[in-house]
Structure 1
Amino acid sequence: MGSAAAAPTPAHDQFTVRFVERDEDVVGALDALDAEVVGVDVERADADRYFRRAALVQIGVAGHCLLLDGVTLHALPDVADFLDRRRLTVLHAVENDLEPLAAKGVVPRHMADTAVAAALLGLPTGLGSLLAEVLGVSLSVDKEAYQRADWEARPLSEGMAAYAAGDVVHLPALWRELAARLEATGRRHWYDQELAATIERAGEDSRDWTRVKGAGRLAPHQRAVLRAVWQERERLAREHDIAPNRLLHDDVLRSIATEPPRTEAQLVRRSQRRRNLLRRHAGELFAAVERGMAAPPVPRETAGRRWTDGDRNVYDELRRARAEVAEDLGIDAGVLCPSRPLWRAVAGEPDDGAELCALVELRPWQTEVLAEPLWEAYVKARRNGGRG
């Protein structure tokens, strides 16, 4: 498929595709999408970068899709205006697309997320499987291959164009069916709460040094080194728009924390790949190692609390009760309530089910279905297991 912004070009038996790369062509192309509900998706090319960016923005309705070139179209004010005039923008897994869209000046006011809806209905959350089960639509492209494609390369191949369009042209119809099922099952208010929470999380900076795998098992003095080097890696990654793991992989971070290098050269040798990139920033990272070694130890998060066998028994009973409710509802237990927050209920020693759910920070719909069974499980486990 060529890169010229010309008339719609057939790209698939079920829909046509138009590629748009010039600002002056955007409004006219959008006018062809005469619908109150549109599907939107983003193809990114930022695997080696710190900031998420859109290489391609797809806007689709049944039978037609626009592919807006994120390489040449640095901002999309006309798209923002277009979506503001629409009742609904349908995405699949909004948390992946909101940041790159916002970087183009696009912040949809009214959104639906088919992945959130699917999870609450006990359906597959992968788009291909979901389309097949709900609409009987089969995407006839190699999804894994195109997920690894270079979406900044031009011109796009016809296969890439078909893949990108296929992700959005069916979203309006998919959402209509999922919305009907949410209403029929009485779960629409569940969905509204989950969507709001998902959008809120997408806007938060969730990066934190304690999320490095194995950080919780390090000794306090090692955690101080890990924190200092992680923070320096984060600063450098943001400043130079480099993916943090490309600069210094988390596995290497842990190695540095457990056995700090004594020289810059030793630090560079810890990494088996991309040593040239690391070498350019070795001085700053080694200085962070020295700061971490001189810093006060950082206690483990569980310091001050020794978990007893009774505590673990309560936790296991809470998980079992949650799993039983999830099975009855036909949804994944992790969707109903993640496991890890249940520890807060064990440590908080609640007085009733409402307080237990508040400690776990459950949303109202989760409290609605979990307060009673979790409290019964908690009381039973405490009675039988005690506090050790």
Structure 2
Amino acid sequence: MDWSHSSGENRIPTRTLVLYVSFLALDILIIVSELIAGRIDQLLLSVPIAIMLLIAIITDRKVAHVPPLLIMLMVFTLLVVVISNQFRDAHAFISIFSSILTGVCLMLMGQVVVYTMMHSSPEKEQDNKSFVYMAAFGIAMTVQLLMFVAQITYYHFQQNTEFEIWIITTYVIYSIVGALITMFLSELGVDRFIINSGLNKSMEAYTGGSYSNERAKEEALAIIASGESEKLEFKSTITTNIQTGENDKRMEKAVLKTIVAFLNTTGGILMIGVSDDGSIYGVDEKEFDSRDKMNLHFTHMISSKIGDEFFPYISFRVIDMEDGKAIIRVDCARCKKPVFLKDGKVEEFYVRSGPSSVMLTGSNLVNYVNNKSTKDKMSIVRKIEEFEE
């Protein structure tokens, strides 16, 4: 695919650019003052921050953008490290806190690198989380090790005072603790909040819309061409019954049922505005006063019928296609917690089985939720399908 684009389409907004340049200037000032003072403790964070800021400022964004939330967190951590160095002897807690935060930042930075190399995001790699964590931890610890060796070498050859290696060793240990804490928090969805929102939403804002929509359109067409499957389903509309032309709540339920089924199984992609045969029908945008109203309605559907707590597992965007048509791409990640669809006073549980969504009830539902084996879960679904046939 050709992702080429003109430079004018991908400028970072002025305010964001000013903020990043200010952060970079502050970071360089800290690096210079650190070297002048004969210390390199803060380089563990200040150097990676400088690199990430430079990438964020000058990159042509052919790959995932550096998450702004991560940059904010790293700059905040750097300031905490600077403060902790000033009060190291008087306030040991600040030093411990800054070391743990450093580990958190390095681990998140490692995850960004891994996801970027995989051209993916947290919500799409639920089944490969162990690999992502191991690779990210390896990157974080490599940075730690390099800086650890650099500090030992620097203080050994450049300083006349006695160097206490146990101090840096303690910082490294607490940083490892921070990295492990990040793994735990990532399981709770923090990585999706910090990394995924930065990789997707901010990239769309920075690219001015045209480039990101073109890329999203090409990706959508490639996905649609593969046809419906366990991880891909098409729906023609959000609310409109194409047979009658009237608004029909059953259409909304069909959309929500698919989302719930994806969340309860292995995740997947729902394309709204696409017919069963893969042709672009176009989402029923004209039923709403504006695109914003349509997005708000769709968000309310998820909030009221599925629940706000599951938004970290769901992301969607409107993609403009040819002939003035648009589709909605909904990406769903696997959720370890059971997800139910609220239908009046009844809560329904759906899972994916091939290219369709199946409702589980009674003992089948209990067995499915309690069973840890994916193979056994699928056997329960198959038995239900055979019984219904």
Using structure 1 for the length normalisation, give the TM-score: 0.25
TM-score (norm 2): 0.25
Higher helix share: 2
